[in-house]
Amino acid sequence: MLVAEEANRVTELADVVTPPSHIAIIMDGNGRWAKKRLLPKVAGHRKGAEVVRKCVRECSRLGVKYLTLYAFSSENWKRPEDEVKDLMGLLKHYLNNEIEELNQQNVRLRFMGARERLSPSIVELIENAEQKTGGNAGLQLILALNYGSQSEIVKAARELAREVRDGRISADEIDEQMFASHLYLPDIPDPDVIIRTSGEQRLSNFLLWQAAYAEFIFVETLWPDFDEESLSRAICEFHKRERRYGARP
């Protein structure tokens, strides 16, 4: 009873405070969740996909403007072939079956990451999702797919180097704003908070440039067990932080 009362108190508190504008989440722990239950890894990934749905709904309800989820990293191709196949299958299922609900919630679905290695069928689903939800004005849901922050930064550096070579800009003109304009989705503000589940405390090549002044919140909860209360607790923890951006308080 006390646990339920505490959960309600946390949720109510999250309802009355202004939520972070941009929440980014490293969804970690699907495999460990499945292993603890003697289930195949794909069962953990399926349960994790259900949590994505809940998290999107809750962020929309709270008024969060941007939610970025680390769905598949460029390093995840190193996983066993069967697991990668299962993950891509789940992605196809999500893109085929969630678009109508996202539209009903006024959610705009966007993607960041390299598309060259993705199958043509997945690229087609991505483009279809972007087109169908492009006019929605509510929460912007960004899926980081085949994404690696180091390669994103190298991409930006190459583009700027070509512009200098071609005489369109001088090297002295390059500043932080110009560099950031060559990253994926430059119109999206940097995350206010990055949450990582499962107890791991590292960024794992996620939003390295954009995380310069983000607050980090690491929780022990495995991603398939993350719920609305978990999100509310993270938001409450965020509001305890003093964000100074290098200045004195």
Q: What is the pTM of this model?
A: 0.92
- Contact predicate 27/70, CB 8 Å: yes
- The pLDDT score that the predictor gives to residue 243 is 77
**Statement: residue 140 has pLDDT above 50:** yes
Instruction: Name residue 234's amino acid.
Output: A
Residue 108 assigned as binding residue = no
Q: Under DSSP, is residue 56 helix (H, G, I), strand (E, B) or coil? A: helix
Residue 57 assigned as binding residue = no
Residue 53 assigned as binding residue = no
The active-site residue out of 76, 103, 136, 205 is: 76
State the DSSP code for 211: T
pLDDT in tens, 25-62: 999 999 999 999 999 999 999 999 999 999 999 999 99
Residue 202 assigned as binding residue = yes
Annotated active-site residue 128? The verdict is no
Going from N- to C-terminal start, the domains of the chain cover 148-183
| Spatial distance between the Cα atoms of 87 and 71, rounded to a whole number of angstroms | 9
Residue 77 assigned as binding residue = yes
Annotated active-site residue 28? The verdict is yes
Residue 204 assigned as binding residue = yes
**Statement: residue 192 has pLDDT above 60:** yes
| Spatial distance between the Cα atoms of 153 and 249, rounded to a whole number of angstroms | 31
Residue 32 assigned as binding residue = yes
pLDDT in tens, 102-125: 999 999 999 999 999 999 999 999
How, if at all, do strands 22-26 and 108-112 pair? Answer: unpaired
Residue-wise burial string across 142-158, b where 16 or more C-beta atoms lie within 10 A, e elsewhere: bbbbbbbbeebeeebee
The active-site residue out of 28, 86, 146, 192 is: 28
